[in-house]
Amino acid sequence: MFELFTSAFWSEYGRLLLEGCGDTLLMTLFSTLFAYLLGLPLGVLLVLTGDHGILRTQQTDPVLSRLVHLVNRILGWVINVGRSLPFIILMVCVMPLTKWLVGTKIGVLGAIPPLVISAAPFIARMVESSLSEVDSGTVEAAQSMGASVWQIVWKVYLPEAVPSLILGGSISIITILAYTAIAGAIGAGGLGDLAIRYGYQRREDSMMWVTVVFLLILVQCIQSLFSRLSVHLDKRLR
């Protein structure tokens, strides 16, 4: 344990840890980005097609209204399936797709598709809950002023939900960060990979503790950064 403070430890593992950190950050960053590209529109669609969603309430044609309801049901079902699959299983399941998409099943690149696929449904639900917090009266006011659905999404739902979306964002990133550690188990690299290979398989305790501390610091930084940002941007708190 005390070898942690020796320069020998750092000269041997420093580079490795730095690379691990970088890999973890890369995986987390890109997966979050792509997962939001998928999850955000899905979450918006969930709200719009929900029972009190504007696509339902402003649809006078009963056939179209039922169609909208059906879309909502199917979407909800697909999202629930995605969320109930354990990540490690999903990762193995989508390997052919991963190979086809990014050309490899392993490494940082190979981890991103499964991370995106498993995080997107989660993010869709987070976005749905954030947007549901937007006061329905505000949405109605926008409708009464002649706003289109598109305008309501871009000018009411998303801007009004920004503080909540950012808090949701921190939860999503931290969840994805935790998943990268699991992905590490099947050769994705990153801090999780180091913890398993050195900490667990080679029983080098100090290496395990260092990765744990690194992850802890990362989580702390992300959380406090996003919390501050959310408070800073929330105009209701002035």
Residues that bind other proteins (CB under 8 A): 60, 135, 137-138, 140-148, 151, 155-156, 159-160, 162-163, 233-238
Residue number with CB closer to other proteins (128 or 160)? 160
Q: DSSP strand E in the chain: where?
A: none
Residue number with CB closer to other proteins (1 or 237)? 237
Question: What is the C-alpha separation between 109 and 197, in angstroms, rounded?
Answer: 19
Residue number with CB closer to other proteins (44 or 115)? 44
Q: Whole-number minimum distance, CB 124 to other proteins, in Å? A: 22
Residue number with CB closer to other proteins (15 or 66)? 66
- DSSP assignment of 171-188 equals HHHHHHHHHHHHHHHTT-
Q: Whole-number minimum distance, CB 139 to other proteins, in Å? A: 9
Which residues, 6 or more positions from 44, have their beta carbon under 8 angstroms from its beta carbon? Answer: 127, 131, 153, 157, 158
Q: Whole-number minimum distance, CB 151 to other proteins, in Å? A: 6
Whose structure tokens read 């399941």?
93
Residue number with CB closer to other proteins (35 or 142)? 142
> How is residue 235 written in tokens?
């105009």
> How is residue 164 written in tokens?
């909540």
> Over the Cα atoms of the chain, what is R_g?
21
Q: Whole-number minimum distance, CB 43 to other proteins, in Å? A: 18
Q: Whole-number minimum distance, CB 231 to other proteins, in Å? A: 13
Residue 235: is it exposed, middle or buried by C-beta count within 10 angstroms (0-12/13-18/19+)? exposed
